[in-house]
Structure 1
């Protein structure tokens, strides 16, 4: 009888809060998006004035034995049933079978867990490098070649190894669009020829955290090592020396135009001289070679207009190029059509369109560069940020038009995310043109979320509902 009474009491307590339903199917969080919603019914009978509702997150297996509190309401703040509460997941979250449950404090009650869902916090969500961007590797027959995530790597590489909670999956390409899983870990010992890359393990969440490709070959099978120039090829000699680097090996010897370079016996060689560079690499049990025809011609140019510009009727926009090119020639284009009379370093723009200017150095190192910029009519001045648009092609309310203080030219960061937290748009030059592509939906009006970060005013956040 005692057991029956305990069971009955427990059932009554649990029954005070219904099972939470989720407003999402997976939680793919990041620094720019981390808000998810759970809705639950509860009994308002005997609800204390000091009651608080708490959202707990299970571990990756769905167990609440070491649950994490991800939301706590203020005392007495939630009194109407059903309630919808938002929560954020911790930045160490990673797994495929999380659940949430709801607890109350007055009276004390606990719901059962929600349905399970994948949840990952994408603490690193941008491309990174492996093997210092060297695109090839070679191993001897019966040997192996080591691929490693760079830490920190060169330039602005954001190495995911800086984040200890992350794990990694390695893949080998089977076609230009398909690949197979190979192994996990921060490095991979390759014994089979192929093209390899690694991704940060965010499970079923899509991510931009992936590496460059490296093609690994077996020596003696026509394989040749690649050589990378740190300033590109061709590069501009006036920018200083460039560093040549090649694949991993036991020892090296560099050559310029077939002649041994004395003392050049490292994996890298720094130079500011054009020519054909080759390197012989001792891999231990075999030898391979690499070659690059290095060009060091170039020049510098700037233009004094922005990438995006607005031009009112009757006004003129003056665009001027400054360059150190020798005997430069200038060609100006409007919507890819050459403007015959425009051959100087400046041009007065009087109509909207897509512009391009090509600067060519005609003496010394003959080379070209170009600048692109767009000229549009002024944006409409709306008072409020809309939360409803109808992109149905009828010419009315087809795109998300926001106040002028947030659009192109104000350096305001505009971010749009899907309801699953996937990045849809991120720009500092928003042109009132989202969505640019058709969004197909039938029965459910999709909801997106925006974050507007102006230069000198408060951040704006909200939702955008698309209707037919």
Structure 2
């Protein structure tokens, strides 16, 4: 079939194609996403949702990503959450996103949008919608499924199974209670109550709790008959009786309390209190539980015991001297006391006041009767009075460490009496004051030491101390305490810290010099013969002194005396120095007190620290430090050549055996000599070169080996060349 082409039509078609292509390119957009849900309630068991999306050509780039984003709960994308990212739809103009809501989703105004990354474009956002991620997907349990009764105080309804959610909605009679968002509710009114987790309007109902019916009951009134304050006699009884404003029945229970302690739960409206040794005192009340309705508390009844105490002013065991008397004073809390004193259980005639004067042994007590109230009688604790058969004295020392403390304070610590039956009784101050005392050191009375205390503060008074006490015919001596006052820590010093051994004498002195002490000197932990407080020595070493007084020995600090050595004398040039013709080299010494330089003829050529040498020969330095002399020798060699040799013959014949270079490069710490094999191996490297390479014969066969040298000063190569070894 023949076809005809019309040029004008072709042009028209091409124009239309170009026009629509331009329109498509300029109209590329990302459409608003279409939500596949309305009011989502995602949870762990249900969290799969879709959003439909369409976009228009031209095609996006191959590396493009389509990103589905979720706003915050207020609809803002400032901190958008990525829900899904798609990378395989860059040629698909319509597709669906599948995604899950994050667990933090909780709010009313969420929106969704789509972004592309290449090119970067953003769709318009969807309409807003509420969304709540539910962590609770079952009914709440309220008040453990129990109804409640209101009495005089509010009651608390609580969520039992999920009390940790952020917000709740509370309802009374199916009406929302504004502002109540906690997991508990304080109830003051009767009604029908329930609660739900606040997941917004659409997602909360599945969490609604059971209904709790709260009813109001009338309050019971309870009283205890009789006075509010009741006084009991010791070991007496009292019955408390409760009454209510309604007639009790078999369901009533009475809970009797003393303070916070429950005493009895009974159906009886009475409770009898019996005193046993004063334990009945306290505040009593009753709680009445009618069985149904509201329990009620009575007011309190305070029970007190009509009792009193009797005490005396003396200890239960006391000692009297035959010439001494004492007064016993009785004290009582009885309102109207009547007194009667007894000795050895026999009433003392006319002893009917609160005091009794005693002057002999026996067992004494007072009986006090209360003439009012219960009329009870009580006896005081008996006081046993004895004459002493002997006394026991004890002394003690205060804060003190033997051989360390600079003083010790000794004092009387105990004075006790012994009775004929062997009882030991601490005596009171009235008897202590009658004693005369004397301190003894090693069995000899210390002059003037006649009080209860003595202070020892010098080593001459070291020894065993005792205290003797005398009263009438009694003479008692205390225990003995050994006192060793410390001698202090000796400090030793030396008049010289460096010496010329066997020449200089150093004197080491001690800060402690008492002639009664024993002195032991040590050098390097070896005991020396010296036994005085001063040591004179010609030897270096580490010295220490130990000072001993009786059984106390204390070590001093250490002092180290160092010897002078020739290492302290340094020269800027040592060994052999090489002279160029017409030039001189300066040798500088340091570290000594005086310097004397000698030439070959032993003539003095210098007396300062430096010597300028221009003539070859051997020069000797005698350097003095203290009393020590040290000798240093330098040899000066004249070397006129400035040519660096390139051939040597290290065959041991004494001629040209080493690589001898001009003196300019010798014995100089700033000049480095490096020698390499022909393969680049470093065989010699060093400063202060002494024309000493090679240091041994080089064995080879065949061709004469060639070495390479570099002469380096301050990091820069100043000479380089070859060295050929010949036989």
Q: TM class, shorter-chain normalised?
A: 0.3 to 0.5
Structure number with the higher strand fraction is 2
Tell me which of the two structures has the higher relative contact order, counting C-alpha pairs closer than 8 angstroms and 6 or more residues apart: 1
| TM-score normalised to structure 2 length | 0.27
| TM-score normalised to structure 1 length | 0.41
**Larger Cα Rg: Structure 1 or Structure 2?**
2
